[in-house]
Structure 1
């Protein structure tokens, strides 16, 4: 049996998995915004999103705390810190989009928003399933290739959605909706950022 310098470094992987799990839950809550029309129901979803954002912050802080207190880490300290921050960015943008729906008292979201949220949900699921593979750094290329494909799809959809918004003569409505769809687009970009970070780590560790 090989001698192991690190008694148990699995905690980092576990925390990354926890963070990604929160993202899956947040994506489900975003889907709920499309299904719930009454203000009280949407306010409840927004509150759950805030709770998930706090949980995500706690996981991020714990990862950083363990990086600072660990003599040996499973891979580069800066990469661990950067990956944790990238995961946190995904949550922040999703929570922002939900919060804006509540703050702007939106009753009807543009139909195209459903496609945005569908893409984000798929990205969240892929990210969650990729986290356990960080232990071996194996079988990850399909993950980041698919995330990049989805992000390109999200970009195209976002541009078409914004173009459609500007056909509405109500300038205030357009500004509100653009804020929301831009926050969702930023979430998709952040998921690609996670995938790019993991690709970089995999290359270093190969």
Structure 2
């Protein structure tokens, strides 16, 4: 790819929207994983891996386009940060699916279903918000709602940890559940970081 003096104004935003769509699809698969029995989970995990790999390719395309573009529609460091945090969200979703399959837990606590539901809401909001970056319009409600969802996720996370440690469950199962719960919480945290990044960009560009 040669150096372009100026990117298409929509090129980066189209790629961010594509990544957000991957997140929506990935979390839909994760939701299927947590509701399926052990025998069905591995096939779904493989589908989730495919979505994560597609998201990786989109992230690489963002960086490739960034490196080949002299003038960008928003600051270069902001483009790189958006790509990085979107990638983190997808990576933690993929990791959570992998852990659920690898640990082979017959039953998952209801709090995990709630965490995945909150992640789905974050992904849906993100997919709706990404096109708004083109004109920096209609984004305030997005970052406010993401922060609210992340706070709800924190409460679910703390309640689950307290419950599993007080449940008398064997230590190995507690460790496995803690790994899954913490990975889902990290995904929630990255969605909040993404919303905070969008807020900072919107303020800068206003």
Scaled to the shorter chain, the TM-score interval is: over 0.9
Question: Hey, what does 2:19 align to over in structure 1?
Answer: 19
Report the Cα offset of residue 168 of structure 1. 2.9
The CA RMSD measured in Å over matched residues stands at 1.1
TM-score when normalising by structure 2: 0.95
Asked if structure 2 preserves the Cα contact closer than 8 Å seen for 1:168 and 1:174, the reply is: no
Report the Cα offset of residue 150 of structure 1. 0.3
Distance in 2, matches of 1:137 and 1:192, equals 18
Question: Hey, what does 1:31 align to over in structure 2?
Answer: 31
Q: Secondary structure at the match of 1:125?
A: helix
TM-score when normalising by structure 1: 0.95
Is structure 2 residue 179 aligned with structure 1 residue 196?
A: no
Report the Cα offset of residue 6 of structure 1. 4.2
Asked if structure 1 preserves the Cα contact closer than 8 Å seen for 2:34 and 2:100, the reply is: no
Q: Secondary structure at the match of 2:71?
A: coil
Distance in 1, matches of 2:7 and 2:189, equals 36
Is structure 2 residue 53 aligned with structure 1 residue 93?
A: no
Unmatched tracts of structure 2, length 5 or more: none
Question: Hey, what does 1:186 align to over in structure 2?
Answer: 186
What are the Cα deviations for residues 82-137 of structure 1, in whole angstroms up to 9, with x where unaligned? 00000000001111111001111122111111110000000000000001100000
Unmatched tracts of structure 1, length 5 or more: none
